[in-house]
């Protein structure tokens, strides 16, 4: 990428792109120049709530968080460049995939937003998987819809529009009911040849619910599917005021198709071409491998989604990753305060991740489960964090932290083994991004040991999905100059990108495998813990 240093005039003229992504714990806004280089950032911290057994974010949290993240970005630009942001070449929104946002004819939520984290749709997911002969996970939008139908929920008949979080925000700001194909592939199966919902499966679903006599058909309430780079509408006057409460933002700005965090992760790591892949590790963890051909058979542990340009992708998604590590870091922070010491949170994580590398390769026999919520890959409807050791095990801080890092990727490893061992998918290299990889070497080493392949970190990947959706917005602004998204990324964004690559040692790999033997054997104990502790 070519770096342009004279940003003041460019910002004043709106010659930049804006990307905003709703992550699990942070809403992040990234401003990038017309070469894709990040210029400035803004963010807002938030957390999901468990209400009446449903993981959700409130409407106030969604819009208040969006406005605060944008204002932080706007204030940072004003302070650094003395420019008030008024326009952009293009804007893009992305968010956590899947989930259930159902609107009525008045554009009001019929029920609180049901996020990807919920594991309340097992019956629906099983029946849909059997009917489609295609893996339909619990977190997919169609699972939530069909479960609501099976439950006899009164609101279903009143659905006018069903979408994801990214699609919801995009709709409210543009009036356009659309979704990028990558995010759409987490709502309902996609036909990669037509870049649209699978027509055969739409027909099967129609037959499954025909006795309900709903006043809608499924495709009619789903967002229109758009390919990367397509025009997805423009910012309305009302949308501009919803985003910028101070009223400085102009209407009429181009928006790219809204995407899911999986798609933006692929873009941020240049992993959209066949035989490339990436691992996003934060609150949840998922691995994406772009396939050359379809898998030989259905696997319930593996989802089939697409890139933002519609190519088929095998996705191993795990609900739990770093939340348990965060909980222990907070506990150590409390202990520090108790002892009269105030530590920087970033330093706490850096030290804990770093010391994990000093632990025994097999964690000294320690084993733990990071299941704050259910974990479909291993068949858990509910989760209960659990740590176990015997009197003979080596209970040290390095071993404990190494165990926490192993545990964060253990469920992912189970799913990845299906791809490599059963489907014979060759993984030459995986690009990593997300908070798990922030500490040098620690996350890379553990992840490489888990999947038995090199892990590559791009310097730009640290910007995450918000930068990824900014790049997709830039592609929409420049699409006439490039034949494909792949060529745009290769020729303009990543042509001179810096990266670090690491392959775990044989000892690291063997240590992770030994840990996994105990981990798999102890799943029965984790199951008992959920039965005892979850009411």
**Mean pLDDT computed over 400-422:** 95
Q: How far apart are CA 49 and CA 31, in angstroms?
A: 29
Residue 155: other Cβ atoms inside 10 A: 12
362-389 pLDDT, tens digit each = 999 999 999 999 998 999 989 999 999 9
* 191 three-class SS: strand
pLDDT of amino acid 463: 62
pLDDT of amino acid 2: 41
349 near 438, Cβ under 8 Å? yes
Nearest to 18 by CA among 86, 64, 68: 86
472-513 pLDDT, tens digit each = 999 999 999 998 999 999 999 998 888 899 999 999 999 999
Instruction: Quote the pTM value.
Output: 0.81
pLDDT band at 461 (very low <50, low <70, confident <90, very high): low
**Mean pLDDT computed over 41-47:** 96
pLDDT of amino acid 462: 54
Q: Percent of the chain, pLDDT > 90?
A: 84
* 4 three-class SS: coil
Which residue bears the tokens 């259905």?
298
- Length, in residues, of the chain: 535
Our CA angle for 502, 284, 296, nearest 5°, is 75
Query: Which residues, other chains included, contact 137 with Cβ-Cβ below 8 Å and sequence gap of 6+?
Result: 98, 125, 143, 303, 317, 376
161-188 pLDDT, tens digit each = 999 999 999 999 999 999 999 999 999 9
β-strand pairing of 178-180 with 224-226: parallel
Q: Which DSSP letter does residue 508 get? A: H
**DSSP H helical ranges for 190-322:** 199-208, 218-221, 237-243, 261-268
502 near 430, Cβ under 8 Å? no
The radius of gyration of the chain's CA atoms, rounded to the nearest angstrom, is: 23
pLDDT band at 3 (very low <50, low <70, confident <90, very high): very low
Which helix (H) or strand (E) element contains residue 295?
Answer: none
98 near 164, Cβ under 8 Å? yes
């Amino acid at each position: 990428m070519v770096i342009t240093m004279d940003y003041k005039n460019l910002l004043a003229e709106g010659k930049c792109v804006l990307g905003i992504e709703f992550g699990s714990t942070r809403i992040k806004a990234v401003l990038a120049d017309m070469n894709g280089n990040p210029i400035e950032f803004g963010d807002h911290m938030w957390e999901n709530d468990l209400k009446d057994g449903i993981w959700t974010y409130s409407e106030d949290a969604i819009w208040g968080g969006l406005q605060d993240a944008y204002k932080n970005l706007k204030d940072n630009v004003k302070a650094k460049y003395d420019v008030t942001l008024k326009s952009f070449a293009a804007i893009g929104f992305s968010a956590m995939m899947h989930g259930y946002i159902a609107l009525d004819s008045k554009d009001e939520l019929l029920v609180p937003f049901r996020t990807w984290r919920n594991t309340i749709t097992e019956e629906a997911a099983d029946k849909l998987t059997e009917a489609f002969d295609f893996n339909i996970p619990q977190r997919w939008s169609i699972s939530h819809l069909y479960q609501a139908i099976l439950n006899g929920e009164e609101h279903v008949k009143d659905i006018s529009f069903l979408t994801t979080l990214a699609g919801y925000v995009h709709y409210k700001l543009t009036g356009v009911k659309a979704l990028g194909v990558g995010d759409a592939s987490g709502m309902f199966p996609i036909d990669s040849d037509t870049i649209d919902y699978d027509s055969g499966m739409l027909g099967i679903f129609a037959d499954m619910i025909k006795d309900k006599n709903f006043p809608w058909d499924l495709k009619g309430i789903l967002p229109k599917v758009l390919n990367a780079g397509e025009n997805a509408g423009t910012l309305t006057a009302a949308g501009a005021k919803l985003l910028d409460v101070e009223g400085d933002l102009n209407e009429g700005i181009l928006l790219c198709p809204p995407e899911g965090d999986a798609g933006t992760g692929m873009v941020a790591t240049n992993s959209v071409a066949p035989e490339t892949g990436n691992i996003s590790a934060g609150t949840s963890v998922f691995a994406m491998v772009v396939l050359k051909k379809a898998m030989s058979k259905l696997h319930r542990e593996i989802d089939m989604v697409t890139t933002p340009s519609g190519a088929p992708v095998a996705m191993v998604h795990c609900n739990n990753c770093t939340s348990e590590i965060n909980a222990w870091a907070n506990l150590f922070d409390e202990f520090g305060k108790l002892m009269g010491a105030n530590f920087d949170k970033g330093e706490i994580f850096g030290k804990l991740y770093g010391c994990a590398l000093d632990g025994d390769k097999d964690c000294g026999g320690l084993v733990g489960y990071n299941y704050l919520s259910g974990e479909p890959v291993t068949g858990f409807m509910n989760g209960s964090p659990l740590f176990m050791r015997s009197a003979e095990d080596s209970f040290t801080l390095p071993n404990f932290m190494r165990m926490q890092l192993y545990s964060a990727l253990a469920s992912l490893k189970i799913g990845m083994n299906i791809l490599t061992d059963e489907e014979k998918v060759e993984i030459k290299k995986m690009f990593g991004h997300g908070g798990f990889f922030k500490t040098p070497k620690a996350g890379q080493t553990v992840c490489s040991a888990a999947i038995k392949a090199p892990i590559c970190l791009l310097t730009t990947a640290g910007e995450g999905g918000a930068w990824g959706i900014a790049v997709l917005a830039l592609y929409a602004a420049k699409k006439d100059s490039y034949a494909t998204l792949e060529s745009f990324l290769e020729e303009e964004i990543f042509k001179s990108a810096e990266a670090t690559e690491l392959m775990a040692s044989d000892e690291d790999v063997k240590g992770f495998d030994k840990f996994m033997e105990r981990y798999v054997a102890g799943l029965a104990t984790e199951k008992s813990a959920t039965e005892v502790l979850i009411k």
